[in-house]
Chain A
Amino acid sequence: MSTAVTTAESIHRRRHYLNADYGIRSWLLTTDHKRIALLYLFSITFFFALGGLFAVLIRLELLTPAGDMMTSDTYNKVFTMHGIMMVFFFLIPSVPATLGNFLIPMMIGARDLAFPKLNLASWYLFMVGGMFAMYSVVTGGIDTGWTFYTPFSTTYSNTKVIPAALGILIAGFSSIFTGLNFIVTVHRMRAPGLTWFRLPLFVWANYAASLIMVLGTPVLAITIVLVFLERAFHIGIFDPRLGGDPILFQHLFWFYSHPAVYIMILPSMGVMSELISAFSRKRIFGYTFVAFSSVAIAVFGFLVWGHHMFVSGQSVYAAMVFSILSYLVAIPSAVKVFNWTATLYKGSVSYQTPMLYAFGFLGLFTIGGLTGLFLAALGVDVHVTDTYFVVAHFHYIMVGGVIMGYLGGLHFWWPKITGRLYPEGWAKLSALVIFLGFNLTFFPQFVLGYLGMPRRYHAYPEEFQVLNVMSSAGASILAVGYLLPLFYLLWSMRYGPEAGPNPFDARGLEWQMASPPPTHNFEQVPIVSEEAYAYHTAQEVPVAG
């Protein structure tokens, strides 16, 4: 497969995107999708660390039942900024802006995304948005929760709501432009012969996530604008004193923010498909089902937002409709999980680091998804609303799912990105530490929530302490697990052995070019004549379909 590349040449002698040009200007003004992906990688790692710092503060405060480390006001700010940093500045851009940006053009045989300058502009918008959010943090913080519920955010909060909201608005435009760029690229830039059903499932998943970015984010944007107008000019769009309806804000907010969860998880699901097929050496079972399930998740995701509002005061009939519709999302999600599992069946599975993350994803996402069904059930949800059960559920999806996929993908394509191998032993250790730390952190929270511990309080009754100590202990293990890759991946950039074009013997156009790839990816646009994941040797009969 990889005959097109001469492996003999060392990384140092060959021209590639990393050494094509030097100096800070060549990075800050680059339009190369691979360099922009790296810019994103560094930025979101920073925001992840910042969000993680706030998580550390939360877990420290909750070590003891008394609210003794910080005041409740400070605690409100800490969990708010944890949420804002993680959701808007890490999770939403995580896989698409880094791995998606890096891989999509290569996977479809294009030299770049359709709009390279827009891609760079997206990164700048993201950074400007991040600066606004940071400004809010350093000038006193914000305490509304990442959800900005009115009328608290518009009228009563005395914290820096406006800069944080503007930051999210600006970062939202970044997200819209990234999604737009991906959609156009997938439609218009595919190599000859690369039909829709030959696309890697990673591309399908990012395409589906891009649909949500393009269709959902504008509604968040206008909602933030209305909150801004109301807070800055007291014009009262959602103000109950004038007859406005704060629940209407929640409708508009969740119209975006529920599908936003699928912006996070879909690209990680795409990573999963790549990992599972590469490390079981099989075509993904039920390729078309997995491909369409991504689009189905994107579409159904827009029909269920009301399940965040079961106790908000919305009509009980609407709540019933949203409850029923919420179950729809379980179907395509389950299709994916079953198909991945079926792919493993009789595959020659190898337990390398990315595959360990994939297994972690499978288990944790399943737990997160199944507990989601509890919450979609109207009757159950009323009891566990705003408890730690909800917190545990969405962390299983967003951390256990999204970050597992993100790290798995980062390891899988790290040799392609840097041209060097990471130390396998350390990587396996960190995957294990993350898995154990994660479960120790968040599983007790299911129990806590079920027992009735509410979220967003800095003090709690003494009988909850044992479980909270377990959770905090888990968080410190998790922190170690996240710090390890930071060190050994950076180390590998200099000292790792050279990887060669295809260290995992994987299929896909990106593995056919040198590592790191040349600036323009392909000298000659490739012509594709086989399906994705053609993992079969000459003796075996390829699976039809």
Chain B
Amino acid sequence: MQDSHTTAAHHPAFQHHFETMEQQRQASTLGMWLFLITEILFFGGMFTVYLVYRNWYFASFAAGSLTLDVTLGTFNTVVLIGSSLTMALAVHGAETGKRGMLVGFLILTILLGATFLGVKAVEYTHKFEEHHVPGPSFRFGSEELRHFHEEATMLRSTQIHGVELGEVQLFFSLYFAMTGMHALHMIIGIGVLSVLVWKARHGRYSPEYFAPVEYAGLYWHFVDIVWIFLFPLLYLITRHVGVHP
């Protein structure tokens, strides 16, 4: 069936059920965005659960949140936003036909993503050591609770009623579900970017055709946006407990 359509541009990536390369590009862009909004609603389910439980169990969520390491969280936020910048620059390289720029920044993005995951692994290891992982072996020791109550009693906030072990466990369930699902998306993203590096080095992309790079970029930025919300919700939002107004 090849070459039966006279209007077709003869780019190797052109698929012949489309009329033009432009139509193909518009279709796949729309498809990518639709995929991303399914991701919004996928993560949205967990954000809903978080919203409900945080409102119910504010003190327990604060207690759980205070055990997270803000320094590592902030570091990871900077790393991930940085990787979004390098991703945007990689797409720019593809747009302008600079293969070196494309490949270089793709590799840099992968490295930053791996750094993020490495830090995440360190954090998870801590949580395992402290038995903060929900399940039969979950413990939230008197040490952490005393620390929390000392800080909380200094506060006049009426929101603090008390910390329940089960509720703290709910916080950590959500912490692991949300960051775990986010990390899974990053691992997939790194896989996709690795394929792109290989293909870009073989000159598959040009200013006429770089859609896969563009879509991988959209996906990467989306994963970044999820973290932009996870970071304050999990690490920051109850830090002020224990700080004088």
Contacts and interface: CB of A to CB of B under 8 A. Distances in A.
User: Quick check: do A and B touch in the complex, using CB within 8 A?
Assistant: yes
B45 A219 contact: yes
Interface string A509-541: 000000000011001010000000000000000
Contacts of A237: 49, 170, 173-174, 177
Interface string A203-234: 00000000000111111011101100100011
Contacts of B134: 233-236
Tell me which of B27, B60, B174 has the highest count of chain A C-beta atoms within 10 A of its own C-beta: B27
A218 B39 contact: yes
A222 B37 contact: no
B52 A243 contact: no
B142 interface: no
Given A116-B17, A215-B37, A235 B45 contact: no
B46 interface: yes
Contacts of A184: 27-28, 30-31, 34
A229 B164 contact: no
Given A235-B134, A243-B57, A180 B35 contact: yes
Contact of A520 (B1, B23, B34, B39): B1
Tell me which of A215, A239, A242 has the highest count of chain B C-beta atoms within 10 A of its own C-beta: A242
A239 B169 CA distance: 11
Interface string B10-42: 000001111100010011101100110111111
Contacts of B164: 243
Interface in A367-413: none
A111 B17 contact: yes
B210 interface: no
B167 interface: yes
A475 B167 CA distance: 49
Contacts of A252: 45, 48-49
A189 B17 CA distance: 9
Given A112-B17, A222-B42, A243 B167 contact: yes
Name the prevailing secondary structure of the A interface residues: helix
A219 B167 contact: no
Given A180-B31, A214-B37, A226 B23 contact: no
A242 B48 contact: no
Nearest to B57: A243
A236 B169 contact: yes
B42 A218 contact: yes
B45 A214 contact: no
Nearest to B38: A218
Nearest to B23: A188
Nearest to A192: B19
Given A243-B57, A243-B170, A233 B135 contact: yes
Contact of B45 (A218, A229, A245): A218
A50 B131 CA distance: 46
A188 B25 CA distance: 10
Contacts of B174: 237
B176 interface: yes
A217 B45 CA distance: 11
A361 B27 CA distance: 35
Nearest to A521: B17
A96 to B, nearest CB: 16
B177 A226 contact: yes
Interface of A: 110-112, 114-116, 118, 176, 180-181, 183-185, 187-189, 214-219, 221-223, 225-226, 229, 233-237, 239, 241-245, 248, 251-252, 519-520, 523, 525
